[in-house]
Structure 1
Amino acid sequence: MTNKITTPAGFSRRAALGLGGGAAIAGLVGCGGSTPPSNSSKITVEKSVVDAAKPFKGSKLGILAQKQYAQSANTAFTNAIAAFSKATGTSVTSSTIEGDTGDLVAKTDAAIKAGNNRDMAFVDDGRFLAEFHELGDLEDVTDVVEELKKTWGEPSPEAQLNCVFDGKWYGIPYYFIGQGMFARKDWFADKGIKTKEYYSYEELRDICLEISDPTKKRYGWGMTVNRSGDANGMIEGVINCYGGAMTDNTGRKVKLYSSETIDGVSFLADIFTSPKYKPMLPPGIGSWTDSSNNENWLAGIVGVINNQFSVYADSKAQKNPVYKNTQSFIGCTGPATDTPLSAGASEALVVFKGAKNAGLAKVLAQYLMHGDALLDIAKDSTGLVLPAWKKVWDSDSFYTNGDPAFTIMRDMQEAPLPHKTTTGYTFPSVPSAGRQAANQSYVLTDMMQRILKGMSVKQSVQQANDDLIKIFEQQGVKQ
């Protein structure tokens, strides 16, 4: 699978993203080097990696690491970097970036243009790579990926969709992010409801109402429509399952306004505005951020959420009783789908244009995506971090037997893509700078907020469609 995305004529990087003159990275944590964690010595750095890094001994490299919502995963990544530095005689400093601030691409692009950027990063491929590529910020890493294929087979279909542009790789698949939906199976059992591999959205809504009991602080529905990455994904997922889409199948033509989109948005709006469903909405859900559903899930307050496996990992790490009462499932269907459109997501390692140590960056990337460097993170994150490559899945028994949820995640990750709706749309959508900029601008969550404040569904969907057109045209993609 390859994307045929080319940079449009007249494309204005700064006009498209509203960049200022600063070169700092928003949300940066720990900008300097970090002290090697005490257990970094437990990580084996293969001789082939050490040999490949010999030409770079004594040199420095900086990497931006996207913050994960499981602290154990962040710590394990730091351990892996420390082990690499020690074994190769190099100095690698890792800085943490927030992916949900809405300005990650803009701030990083500004740093690259000013010559103040780190050498590399790992970021969510479906959310950021197309924008970075269209801005001209990424190095071609096809040589690395082709070399990795010789040992590890093919990367996931999702990664192939999001990392390849015009037949070239601009992201090195790093790891697959376990994600899906989670249900309190004990709450379901209390009502005699059997858990399944997936539900229709209407079925799940009705179940959420049935398992709710505000007197016991039990609220079935744990998914917000407030500005957040989780809400963006959930809203778009509902629209897609109802037969609508943000764009056509090229990813370049806005198609949001349709009767199918209106039906899907009306379904969601009813949940948040109808008195009938008020008992299943936890207090404060209207102002939730990306961490809020995690917090409420771990507190035992909500019955169903849509999330990455960070919440699952945290419940296990904290020995929270919620863990043994969690049922994971792959998602929901709608009127236009027979099975969920879930494809998961992946993190990709990218090398930035102007990297001062691109050679060492490529060696580090090859080290991180398998072996102890990946396994230690996977063991500390229980489903949040899983292999992105077919043969890495089979390289250790932990990936197949470490947790009951892993089988579901591997099936999702290896499923043939794209999925198709009865309305002719294919998913995951082809990545484009316009789509990713729209997600960073929270067009869909803002659409829902207008409805909650009294605007009609049709009017708000029309405004969202108009907003999308403006964003795409700012990117140089004429509508």
Structure 2
Amino acid sequence: MKRPALDRRQFLRGALVVGAAATVPGMAACQTEEGRARTNPTPGTAAGVPQELIDEAAQFKGSTSNTLSQKQYLETANGAIDRAVRQFASQTGTTVNNVTVNTDEGNFIAKQDAAVKAGDVQDMAFVAASRFVAQLHELGDIEDVTAEVEQLQQKYGAVGAAAEASLKIDGKWWGIPYYTIGGGGWWLRKDWLEAKGIPREQLKSFEDLRDAMLEISDPAQKRYGWGVSVNRSNDGNVLIESVINHWGGSFTADDGRKVLFNSPETVAAVQFLADIYRDPKYKNMLPPGVMSWTDTGNNEAWLAGIVGATLNSASIYAQSKSTGNPVYGQTWAFEGFTGPGTDKPMNAINIDTMAFVVFKGSKNPGLAKVLAKYLVAGDAFLGLAKESGALVYPAYEGIWDTDTFYRTGDPYFPVAHSLVTADLPFTTTTGYNFPQPASSGRNAALSAYILTDMMGEIVQKGTAVPAAVATAHQRIVQAFEQLGIKQ
């Protein structure tokens, strides 16, 4: 029986439909030195499409492509993408139906899988590589885009190793890298630490961080050091898995398929976190309601100026910058902290890449691929980066040096560049190498919030750490086996 088609009602709200006849305010035709037609953008508009891409898109003139865009943290960034898409459609004589979606809401994977199986799917979407690409590939929903990625790397330089680990499966690329997004780093209150005489260089390990956050906490002044939750959220997943990895534990063997979660190292890491949330010694550094936070909880607490440290993407930093929040000028960015299993922070593996995936059976994948090539570089990409606060960075090494903005546009950019271009893999004392290959089973386990459920059992129900870890291990095994990955 044919599976039902994707319900488009959720996606079609606010759709951007642009075509050959679309106009972009403030743009006037002119001639370049080469004599080819292009547009002369005014501030806030997207730049012209390179001639080689106009030529490549000529075969699709008059046709339509349907695409999905991941909703950006700042509305100005959504606008930058919209302008670039409009410009592409206008100059190539095509129509692009581009719909903004939030892949964190609803079951994106299931909806897109149903659409592919029904033969009624968009041509392309851009999604978080580490969270979606392996599962879409495992389900057979996306096309091999190796040729496009190799072409882009020849032109713009290599893609970071973390992005490659998420997008390259069995020697082939299944997503076209778009941009890297600030994530996996720690943000600390510089002024609170300096007031206590705690220098930056003193903060090296997770134990150093925990102890410093306790020292700077003062509930009477609404100052709480530890601004991270282990409640059901992507932020909770990132914190728990990061601590486990730094203690020498892992979801799986280095093949990404054999579950090895229940280990002495994992138990020790989970015990470290459990103590923070259960031991009365650390009560003063926990903000009220921390165990009920979702992904917005730590953002709100940081921007309200009541927490001293949080693990987050650069979204909170970008928000503080864009709104003129005084916390922006009192922020220290850290790549991460060490644990017993490593002598260096491994948070570079948490830097995620947004990537274009092309769906199998779509109507116009060729035009979508040309659009992707336009968006990843040049003024179209620079416009997005500038409108994203300090949240969006190049995916290709060569693009970092195409404009001074990428290096000097914000004090955080050197840290971002270090994370994006880190020498990988990291090897733990237990012999794991990170990042590991893309794993649909791991992605499924994270989507099911097995890690945060484990911490909830420990913190809120008093379950012993070894028992909770053992239960989580069994749930992870089930997640893998449901995908046909036998254990």
Helix, strand or coil at the partner of 1:339? coil
How much does 1:306 deviate? 0.8
Change (3 A) 1:392 1:26: farther
> 2:87 maps to what in 1?
83
- Distance in 2 (CA, whole Å) between partners of 1:235 and 1:284 is 18
The question of whether the paired residues in 1 share the 8 Å contact of 2:57 and 2:92 is answered with yes
- Distance in 1 (CA, whole Å) between partners of 2:250 and 2:9 is 31
How much does 1:282 deviate? 1.1
User: Computing the radius of gyration over CA atoms, which structure comes out larger, 1 or 2?
Assistant: 2
> 2:180 maps to what in 1?
176
Matched, 1:414 2:421: yes
The question of whether the paired residues in 2 share the 8 Å contact of 1:177 and 1:383 is answered with no
Q: Which amino acid aligns with 1:33?
A: L
- Distance in 2 (CA, whole Å) between partners of 1:173 and 1:79 is 20
Kindly report the root-mean-square deviation, in angstroms, between the aligned alpha carbons of the 2 structures.
2.1
Q: 1:308 aligns with which of 309, 313, 323?
A: 313
Q: What stretches of structure 2 of length at least 5 have no aligned partner?
A: 26-42
Q: 1:237 aligns with which of 220, 223, 242?
A: 242
Q: TM (normalized to structure 2)? A: 0.91
Helix, strand or coil at the partner of 1:333? coil
- Distance in 2 (CA, whole Å) between partners of 1:75 and 1:312 is 20
The question of whether the paired residues in 2 share the 8 Å contact of 1:226 and 1:445 is answered with yes
> 1:8 maps to what in 2?
none
The question of whether the paired residues in 2 share the 8 Å contact of 1:40 and 1:83 is answered with no
Change (3 A) 1:410 1:308: same
> 1:319 maps to what in 2?
324
Matched, 1:135 2:142: no
User: Hey, which bits of structure 1, 4+ residues long, moved more than 4 A?
Assistant: 34-40
> 1:12 maps to what in 2?
none
> 2:158 maps to what in 1?
154
Residues 442-468 of structure 1: CA distance to partner in whole angstroms, max 9, x if unpaired?
110111111122111111100000001
What does 1:32-181 correspond to in 2, within 5 Å?
32-33=15-16, 41-101=45-105, 103-179=107-183, 180-181=185-186
Q: What stretches of structure 1 of length at least 5 have no aligned partner?
A: 1-19
Change (3 A) 1:370 1:473: same
Q: 2:225 aligns with which of 220, 225, 239?
A: 220
- Distance in 2 (CA, whole Å) between partners of 1:26 and 1:456 is 45
> 1:391 maps to what in 2?
398
Matched, 1:477 2:485: yes
The question of whether the paired residues in 1 share the 8 Å contact of 2:46 and 2:84 is answered with no
Comparing 201-210 and 58-67, the one that deviates more: 58-67
The question of whether the paired residues in 1 share the 8 Å contact of 2:169 and 2:437 is answered with no
> 2:28 maps to what in 1?
none
Q: TM (normalized to structure 1)? A: 0.92
Higher relative contact order, chain-length normalized (CA < 8 Å, sep 6+): 1
How much does 1:411 deviate? 1.6
- Distance in 2 (CA, whole Å) between partners of 1:444 and 1:231 is 8
How much does 1:294 deviate? 1.2
Helix, strand or coil at the partner of 2:15? coil
Q: Which amino acid aligns with 1:336?
A: G
How much does 1:101 deviate? 3.6
Helix, strand or coil at the partner of 2:100? strand
Helix, strand or coil at the partner of 2:332? strand
- Distance in 2 (CA, whole Å) between partners of 1:429 and 1:161 is 7
- Distance in 1 (CA, whole Å) between partners of 2:97 and 2:281 is 53
- Distance in 1 (CA, whole Å) between partners of 2:73 and 2:405 is 21
> 2:473 maps to what in 1?
465
> 2:369 maps to what in 1?
362
- Distance in 2 (CA, whole Å) between partners of 1:286 and 1:110 is 35
Residues 38-73 of structure 1: CA distance to partner in whole angstroms, max 9, x if unpaired?
566443322222222222122211211222323332
Change (3 A) 1:271 1:22: farther
Change (3 A) 1:197 1:71: farther
> 1:379 maps to what in 2?
386
Helix, strand or coil at the partner of 1:176? strand
- Distance in 1 (CA, whole Å) between partners of 2:333 and 2:10 is 31
> 1:433 maps to what in 2?
440
Q: 2:213 aligns with which of 199, 204, 208?
A: 208
Q: Which amino acid aligns with 1:45?
A: V
What does 1:334-353 correspond to in 2, within 5 Å?
334-343=339-348, 344-353=351-360
- Distance in 2 (CA, whole Å) between partners of 1:441 and 1:26 is 25
